[in-house]
Amino acid sequence: MKLEQELNLAQPIASNNHEALLGIVRTASAIQKLSDRFFSEFGITDAQFNILMLLKYNGGKRVSQQDLSDRLVVNKSNIVGLVDRLEKAALVKRETAARDRRLNHIVFTPKGTRLMRSIEQQYFARIDQVMRSLAGRQKRDLTSALDRLRQHIRNL
């Protein structure tokens, strides 16, 4: 369905730029809603899952709260709250760095490791399901276009 039909507009969107940006925003919103439903089944949020993924796929390197803040592009207080909730759920724990007691590394607990094993397979299956409507070339083109757009936005 075209965006103007989805939005039930009385007339076509006049600007290609506006239509493309609205399309990105509407698609991101739909993905966010789907994501919220998916992760709620596991008692976590998408932001918490992003932290767990960064911990898992960090090449065995230790990750600090500051690392998480930098990589997720959120402010430090948001990371503290996210890690607090993950720690309260016993999915991660903070370990004080030996050389600098002000520095906390975030590590999986056994419960967090089990949860990631449980979620990850279903998560990637859901991604495959969501992206199935696009052919391989379309996915590569979309990825490339979004990469260019993000780079351009960073340079503004």
Predicted TM-score (pTM) of this structure:
0.84
The 3-class SS string of the chain reads CCHHHHCCCCCCCCCHHHHHHHHHHHHHHHHHHHHHHHHHCCCCCHHHHHHHHHHHCCCCCCEEHHHHHHHHCCCHHHHHHHHHHHHHCCCEEEEECCCCCCCEEEEECHHHHHHHHHHHHHHHHHHHHHHCCCCHHHHHHHHHHHHHHHHHHHHC
Domain ranges in the chain are: 1-40, 44-130
Greater model confidence, 148 or 59: 148
Give per-residue pLDDT as tens, 91-130: 999 998 778 777 889 999 999 999 999 999 999 999 999 9
In angstroms, the CA 109 to CA 96 distance is 15
Q: How confident is the model over 11-48, as pLDDT tens digits?
A: 989 999 999 999 999 999 999 999 999 999 999 999 99
At the topology level, CATH places domain 44-130 in Arc Repressor Mutant, subunit A (1.10.10)
For residue range 128-145, list pLDDT tens digits in order.
Answer: 999 999 999 999 999 999
